[in-house]
Amino acid sequence: MSAESTPNLMEAVVSLAKRRGFVFQSSEIYGGLNGFFDYGPLGVELKKNIRDCWWNDMVRRRDDIVGIETSIIMHPKVWQASGHVDGFTDPLVDCKVSKQRYRADQLFFAAVTVDGEVKGYVSALESEDTVGALQAAAESFKRKKAIQGTLAPVVAVEFTEATEAQIPLIPSPATGEPGSLTPPRAFNMMFETHVGPLRDSASVAYLRPETAQGMFVDFKNVVDTGRVKLPFGIAQTGKSFRNEITPRNFVFRSREFEQMEMEFFIHEDDDWAKWHRHWIDWCKDWLLSIGLPASHLSEYDHLKEKLAFYSKGTTDIMFKFPFGVQELWGIAARGNYDLGQHEKASGVPQAIFDETTKKKFIPHVIEPAVGLDRIFLAVLCGAYAEEQVTDEKGKAETRTVLRLSPRIAPVKVAVLPLLKNKEALTERAKELYKKLQRRYAVFYDEAGAIGRRYRRQDEIGTPWCVTIDFDTIEKDGTFTLRERDSMEQRRVTEAELLALLDEQVY
């Protein structure tokens, strides 16, 4: 049974994440806080490994990209210049009776049309089958009101498009009754706070809703202090915050999350489409390098007419999550809009000098932006599998296995003495364990039957188990290397193990 055929994959992943300490609800003993999550002992290692792989591949192993780390709270003028103060909003609908709040673009309604006449309205929250839900609601509406005639197939309409006349007639999803929904209003998603002892408009500041502006605001500092020349990139990872109206799908859409963004600056005359394609390909290759299944990845080009006026094009790399195909990594060609905005707002010139043409210009930018928590979730969903296997005694059992790439697995090797009560075995095992621990995250386990110990490692995605047995200490020093996915076992020397790790974990 592969990941794709696991029924309720999402439930299985969330359950494993909780059971084995990958992800906890934030402040769980206080009932949790909607849209906030904590990473447990295994989760923090997996997350750190993904982050470090990205950093190494994006920054340290390249000559044309440098890293920075900017503050979460920046000068409020940054967010005025970037357009976030005015425009970073979601359409919000209140239900005055239930006090529930909905995103208007996630709330759908449909007219109940019988024999060509509108008899009323039904509503449903966006789901895998919004139209089906609306159709069922319409049928129920017709039945309950004992309306005779032929019901037309429903047409789903986003609540943002409801007319003034329709709004009072659309039922609230909370109460099922019309009359309580308000017209949509723009709700700014930036968290607001105050810096300094005074709480007035002059002290308002925001938690950054994206890390990208840090790269733009520090652009000149990087140019002036580093030895960079076009084309070059500035990258950072770090927390961002969005006061989502309806956080959902586990860590997919949360209110506090971590981004990994890079701004790649190119000459104004350079071929932006070529660079755009380059970075889409780079991002896809990188996702494959950390083990995401190619079968789950696809591309989505944003419609030209839906792009911001300054945007030349945006392509999303999509991932097939259990709850649908969703955006994972956005690669946007943003022209020179951001640097231009900051030049205007700050009065500090952002142009750089072209030695060839002797002209000054503001560089254009390609921006690959991805959420670390989303990759984390994609990794778990892509790696999770339940398999029917046969245990040592020939009994059929289900094994849960996380097929994580060795690059990002929280534990690289589990070192297992065959028996707990034979000191010669445990001593040698501990010696190997300590040696490996200097370079790698390793785990020592001597408790229980060897088969059960393998299963425990399978479930957390440990690529290799090494078993120290009597042959190890009495014969040639080799030990059993057991591979997670194939479950194959072979004898290896310590040198062979070290070479394997050196090649696979990087």
410, 296 Cβ separation under 8 angstroms: no
Q: Which residues of 346-497 form beta strands (DSSP E)? A: 352-354, 359-361, 364-371, 384-390, 396-402, 413-417, 442-444, 464-468, 479-483, 489-492
Among 171, 173, 178, 214, binds a copy of itself (CB under 8 A): 214
Does 60 engage in binding with a copy of itself (CB under 8 A)? yes
Contacts of 484 (CB under 8 A, 6+ apart): 401, 403, 457, 458, 461, 462, 463, 464, 465
Q: Please, what is the minimum distance in Å from the beta carbon of residue 191 to a copy of itself?
A: 5
Cis peptide before 209 (omega within 30 of 0): no
Give whichever of 21 and 340 is closer to a copy of itself, judged by the CB atom.
Answer: 21
Does 255 engage in binding with a copy of itself (CB under 8 A)? yes
Q: Please, what is the minimum distance in Å from the beta carbon of residue 350 to a copy of itself?
A: 8
Q: Please, what is the minimum distance in Å from the beta carbon of residue 234 to a copy of itself?
A: 8
> Distance between CA atoms of 352 and 294, rounded to whole angstroms?
40
**How big is the CA angle at 24 (ends 211 and 125), to the nearest 5 degrees?**
75
Among 5, 7, 30, 358, binds a copy of itself (CB under 8 A): 30
Q: Taken in order 52, 58, 64, 68, is the CA torsion positive or negative?
A: negative
Does 182 engage in binding with a copy of itself (CB under 8 A)? no
Does 72 engage in binding with a copy of itself (CB under 8 A)? yes
Does 77 engage in binding with a copy of itself (CB under 8 A)? yes
Cβ neighbours, 10 Å, residue 455: 18
Does 39 engage in binding with a copy of itself (CB under 8 A)? yes
- Kindly state the number of chain residues that form the binding site for a copy of itself, as judged by CB under 8 A: 79
Q: What residues numbered 471-500 form the site for a copy of itself, per CB under 8 A? A: none
Give whichever of 288 and 348 is closer to a copy of itself, judged by the CB atom.
Answer: 348
Q: What residues numbered 228-247 form the site for a copy of itself, per CB under 8 A? A: 236, 239, 241, 243, 245
Dihedral, CA of residue 21, residue 287, residue 240 and residue 72, to nearest 10: 110
Q: What residues numbered 260-319 form the site for a copy of itself, per CB under 8 A? A: none
Does 197 engage in binding with a copy of itself (CB under 8 A)? yes
Does 221 engage in binding with a copy of itself (CB under 8 A)? yes
Does 441 engage in binding with a copy of itself (CB under 8 A)? yes
Q: Please, what is the minimum distance in Å from the beta carbon of residue 216 to a copy of itself?
A: 9
- Tokens linked to 172: 């609230």
Q: Tell me which residue of 256, 216, 255 sits closest to 77, measured CA to CA.
A: 216
> Distance between CA atoms of 388 and 400, rounded to whole angstroms?
9
Among 92, 107, 292, 370, binds a copy of itself (CB under 8 A): 92
